[in-house]
Structure 1
Amino acid sequence: MNKLSWLQKNLVISIPITMVIALIYGYFNDVSYLKNLIIPLTFLMVLPMMINLPIRKVFEGGDLKVQLATQFINFAITPFLAFAIGLYFFPDNHYLVLGILLTGLLPTSGMTISWTGMAKGNIPAAIKMTIFGLLLGSLLTPIYINLLIGENVDIDMMKMVQQVVIIVLIPLIIGHLIQRALIHFYGMSHYQEKLKSKFPPFSTLGVLGIVFVAMALKSKTIIGSPILLGQILLPLVLLYLANFLLSTIIGKLLFKRGDAIALLYGTVMRNLSIALAIAMTAFGEEGSDIALVISLGYIIQVQMGAWIVKLTDRIYGKPAPSVAEDFVHMGIFSLHQDDTLRQAIQLLSEEKIHSLAVLDNQQKIQGLVSMEQIIDSVADGADLDNPLSVLPLTNALLVDLQQPIASIVNDMKRTHTYKIVVTNKKGEVEGIISGLDILEYLSRK
């Protein structure tokens, strides 16, 4: 797992290395058998990404303007810009044009959310952009391709729609069901803290596998005409730069810093994984030409994402003071007030935690029970089958997601409480902040 995590964190290195190895391997070997790996690698790439997608965030309001602006750029401007750039550079190769078009058609990726967080942008808005972009892109991609380039490229619309369903919608449904099952069996806090991080490295492995297949299948063409790589990279760079400039200008003119950053990453970052999967499964032999363009897009996208983070403060100014939402541990270990002391001991032992929340019949938090309180109760002769409601609970200090860190630190000092429960606007528990979280945050300043 450590090696997979390294690959995920170092895409700027791992993707070019994969491409070079694929070119060498494909040039000296018969790689036709690699086509059989396309579907398995596609699922390996897409399904882990879908498991971690927080679909419920779609139903939270408050940022309609930036969502509409983002999707307007994504579907009313970028596809036509990509198509025009593709036609200008490749008037005689419609499959390379289609590669540029596919790159511009499918917005956002899992890294949209991560990079928005690194740049101190609006993460909830970025999550919604990712989900809306994925769904709209899946629905509109077959239509755009047929309208813009259908006369020049042999397209089986039913097959393309079928592949979109197989590649996007089915993994989306399966991934959501797996997510809900994991949360049901292990709890939100266990999922967030210990399970969620295990999936992205497998998605990265799928990406590298698909890139390897695409490059290996085209290796003889590329090595025979190395100038082709430069010819493809130039229009891709222009597409990304144009998108970056447009999104930056609109963001600075119309939105606050957090929303502007989310808009930038929600439009500049493309879902190259889905585009690559569609290219390799829906277009037969010509799919490798399309996939070559998209594979090279990874090199530009990873570099651009990293550089935008470094330049964010220069472009948008310094971020506002950090709030609870920036470092809360989502989810909280909890039991019902009618659950027993024995169940609390088991949960604390299994999860190696020091305290948990106790909820009433309306799922509202009644207080916290700590390891020390339970040990004291057992020492006093308490029956392990007693309900938690008989224990003297510690009052939970509640803070809002938008409460500044300075205020949280003062609350901790005032109440001598170093584990704080974070709630959303509806009063629902979102997660927890401990004194250790505060220290880790301060150590990074």
Structure 2
Amino acid sequence: MRIECTSTNAWLGKKMFLLVLSALIIGFILKVPDSTLVRGLLVSLFAYMTFVTSLGTSLKSFIQVIGKPWIPLFILLLIHIVTPLAAWLLGNLFYSDAPQMKLGLLVAAAIPVGVTSIMWTALAQGNIPIALVAVTFDTLIVPALLPVYFNIIMGQMVDINYVSLVIQLLLMVTIPSIAGMLFYDWTGGKTAGFSKGVGGITSKLALFIIMLFNGSLVSPAISWSLDTVQMIIVALIMVISAYALGYIGSLCIPNRSRDITMAMVYSVGMRNASCGLVIAITYFPPTVAIPIALLMLFQQPIAAAIPNIFRYFEEGSARSRRETTAL
């Protein structure tokens, strides 16, 4: 039974692109109404995914990363300096005469790291402690950074509910992460088997439900037109560029390994689009929310495709080495 669950989980891991894409499509069709119950369910499912992910990680490893935090800090530098500059360039290139769309791209680039970056890092066998520390650090600085950032760039001060944001991220990330890592250390690493079996399957089911609800919540913000098609292309470029920036940034790491590369790709590339939508809808005109809504269409499917892309190039490199050795 345990072997069957592990193999089923591994099979689902290889099919994540289809799983996420089908969830988004179903969400667009069903259009589940937003409610406090739905929001509470999403927080609970996020917390469960984070807990299961952390069952394969030692708390000692997490503390070691905090002790030498320069990789997570480098990730935050890429996210909050380089990415907004790239968004500003894209906005001037495609929307020089549409200030609200330019603003939407900037807001999309400035929002915090997506919580699901931790789960995707785990699925891609990346360095989970680095992803956890990056999200933790970003949780602390973003509520203070965003109002200053928007004031400098747009001349508009944004008042973010720091307490609400921190409590939500504590419930979704910090508490379940620490609980999972404590269980891992307490059991001597035996919980890793659960995270690769039944826990892995159920966490992927949780992700399916989350993506379904996200697709449903974002669909009202999108009205299809030629302008929307152009915005879709720009949003796609922005998402791909963010993931690519994470990979390029990993090349600067001395003695980098595959697990560090995957952690950087997902931490730099993944954004908390739900948080961005709330900020855009609350403080800016509705048009500003469109680029952020479109991010949600591409972030998760591309995240699911990344391990396959890496696997393709790794297998190609292995074949080349074998052919060279044979010669």
Is TM-score (shorter-chain normalized) higher than 0.5? Answer: yes
- Per-residue CA shift, 1:31-69, capped at 9, x if unaligned? 7x335565134314411122122461335649976x52x
Aligned match of 1:303? 305
- Tell me how far apart the structure 2 counterparts of residues 176 and 72 of structure 1 sit (CA, whole Å): 20
SS for the counterpart of 1:236 is helix
Say whether residues 1:135 and 2:143 are aligned partners: no
Aligned match of 1:379? none
Change (3 A) 1:179 1:8: same
Aligned match of 2:220? 217
TM-superposed deviation, 1:300: 2.6
1:17 equivalent among 13, 22, 27:
22
- Structure 2 length as normaliser, TM-score? 0.71
Higher strand share: 1
* RMSD value, Cα: 4.1
Q: For this pair of structures, how many residues does the alignment match?
A: 294
TM-superposed deviation, 1:199: 4.2
TM-superposed deviation, 1:200: 1.6
Change (3 A) 1:51 1:184: same
Contact map agreement 2:112 2:142 (CA 8 A) in 1: no
Change (3 A) 1:7 1:96: farther
Aligned match of 2:172? 171
Contact map agreement 2:72 2:134 (CA 8 A) in 1: yes
Aligned match of 2:122? 113
Aligned match of 2:43? 43
Contact map agreement 2:17 2:305 (CA 8 A) in 1: yes
- What amino acid sits opposite 1:213 in the alignment? S
TM-superposed deviation, 1:244: 1.8
- Per-residue CA shift, 1:359-380, capped at 9, x if unaligned? xxxxxxxxxxxxxxxxxxxxxx
- Tell me how far apart the structure 1 counterparts of residues 216 and 257 of structure 2 sit (CA, whole Å): 37
Aligned match of 1:245? 248
Aligned match of 2:325? none
Higher relative contact order (CA 8 A, sep 6+): 2
Counting only pairs closer than 5 Å after superposition, residues 19-418 of structure 1 correspond to structure 2 as 19-24=24-29, 33-34=33-34, 36=36, 39-52=39-52, 53=54, 54=57, 56-58=59-61, 61=64, 68=70, 70-91=71-92, 92=99, 93=101, 94-102=103-111, 108-116=117-125, 126-150=127-151, 152=154, 155-157=158-160, 159=161, 161-172=162-173, 174-175=175-176, 179=180, 189=190, 192-193=193-194, 196-221=199-224, 225-247=228-250, 249-251=251-253, 254-255=254-255, 259-270=256-267, 275-284=272-281, 288-289=289-290, 290-312=292-314
- Tell me how far apart the structure 1 counterparts of residues 65 and 115 of structure 2 sit (CA, whole Å): 24
Structure 2 unaligned residues grouped into runs of 5+:
93-98, 322-327
Contact map agreement 1:50 1:171 (CA 8 A) in 2: yes
- Tell me how far apart the structure 2 counterparts of residues 62 and 181 of structure 1 sit (CA, whole Å): 16
- Tell me how far apart the structure 2 counterparts of residues 101 and 19 of structure 1 sit (CA, whole Å): 24
Q: Which has the larger radius of gyration?
A: 1
TM-superposed deviation, 1:173: 5.2
Change (3 A) 1:83 1:62: closer
TM-superposed deviation, 1:88: 1.8
- Tell me how far apart the structure 1 counterparts of residues 74 and 65 of structure 2 sit (CA, whole Å): 20
Aligned match of 1:377? none
TM-superposed deviation, 1:12: 1.2
Change (3 A) 1:42 1:295: farther
Contact map agreement 1:50 1:172 (CA 8 A) in 2: yes
- Tell me how far apart the structure 1 counterparts of residues 22 and 225 of structure 2 sit (CA, whole Å): 16
- Per-residue CA shift, 1:123-178, capped at 9, x if unaligned? 6xx12202211211211222332232245366222x1x234323311234552576
- Tell me how far apart the structure 1 counterparts of residues 189 and 316 of structure 2 sit (CA, whole Å): 37
- Tell me how far apart the structure 1 counterparts of residues 183 and 120 of structure 2 sit (CA, whole Å): 23
- Tell me how far apart the structure 1 counterparts of residues 174 and 73 of structure 2 sit (CA, whole Å): 26
- Tell me how far apart the structure 1 counterparts of residues 276 and 117 of structure 2 sit (CA, whole Å): 17
Higher helix share: 2
TM-superposed deviation, 1:263: 2.2
TM-superposed deviation, 1:185: 11
Change (3 A) 1:196 1:203: same
SS for the counterpart of 1:220 is coil
Contact map agreement 1:107 1:266 (CA 8 A) in 2: no
Change (3 A) 1:22 1:107: closer
TM-superposed deviation, 1:189: 3.4
TM-superposed deviation, 1:236: 2.1
Contact map agreement 2:124 2:262 (CA 8 A) in 1: yes
- Tell me how far apart the structure 1 counterparts of residues 300 and 136 of structure 2 sit (CA, whole Å): 21
TM-superposed deviation, 1:268: 1.0
Identity %: 11
- Tell me how far apart the structure 2 counterparts of residues 300 and 191 of structure 1 sit (CA, whole Å): 26
